[in-house]
């Protein structure tokens, strides 16, 4: 996960843990010589992961 995304925020609450990731601006090797530009992010996606220490774990991923 950390190869392609960076941790942008972490919030620990009484009933849950929220972890926020943003995709890194990494180009594939096949496109290394091309002039590529970012067009922005898609809408943030929320995923529920396995509970951590009795609290729900939510992942917020921005791609």
pLDDT tens readout for residues 12-59:
999 999 999 999 877 777 777 787 777 777 889 999 988 878 899 999
Provide the pLDDT for residue 28: 74
Provide the pLDDT for residue 33: 79
What pTM was estimated for this model as a whole?
A: 0.75
Edge-first strand listing for the sheet containing 55-62: 5-12, 16-23, 55-62, 45-52
């Amino acid at each position: 996960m950390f190869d392609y995304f960076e941790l942008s925020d972490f919030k620990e609450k009484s009933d849950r843990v929220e972890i926020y990731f943003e995709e890194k601006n990494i180009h594939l090797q096949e496109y290394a010589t091309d002039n590529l530009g970012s067009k922005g992010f898609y809408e943030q996606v929320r995923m529920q992961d396995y509970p951590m220490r009795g609290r729900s774990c939510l992942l917020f991923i921005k791609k």
